[in-house]
Amino acid sequence: MSNFQYRRLDKNDVAVLLVDHQTGLTNLVQDFSPDDFKNNVLALGDIAEYFKLPTILTTSFEDGPNGPLVPELKAQFPDAPYIARPGNINAWDNEDFVNAVKATGKKQLLIAGIVTEVCVAFPALSALEEGYEVFVVADASGTFNQTTRQAAWSRMEAAGAQLMTWFGVACELHRDWRNDVEGLGTLFSNHLPNYRCLINSYNAGKAAAAK
């Protein structure tokens, strides 16, 4: 028999870490188109909001070329812990950041950021070392090219991190469509044009059946 254990995301035990989604650093992201990457990051933000997941925002050296946090995330999470690291490259080296993570009381961490092999990988590896379950949101994390991305993914996977996409994250957290069709369907429709077509067709069918 296999010794594999399916470790699912549990919405009651998840915190979201958005690491260094900064205006300057977004210019380095070349493994996704600018529009696709922005959409993926904002979709992850919407997931955190929809499932009421504690969310921590952090930046590094934002007074320098990295720039400030992207304004959409700052506006979406005005009350979230916001750790402006003065220079720590690895967010886990910042005591305020680690304390904010621990204060959530959650043991599963969803991590995304820029750039993947540094700002995502370093805290992911550090959190794994401390016993957290780490889930990296691969399509809400960006870097220079696919070679550096693959190196980062391999390193994190070898250490025990699970790689996911924002769509997979949402579905695993939701578990059952009967929990809320309209809410999750709307979230997907807002970020996936093809899914909007699917939902429009579904709603049209429901309306026709109700007549």
Q: Which residues does the annotation mark as catalytic?
A: 119
Q: In terms of Cα–Cα distance, which of 99, 104, 113 is closest to 70?
A: 113
Q: Give dist(CA 97, CA 103) in Å, integer.
A: 10
* Rounded distance between C-alpha atoms, residue 170 and residue 61, angstroms: 31
Q: Which residues contact 56 (CB under 8 A, 6 or more apart)?
A: 15, 16, 17, 18, 80, 81, 83, 97, 100, 101, 104
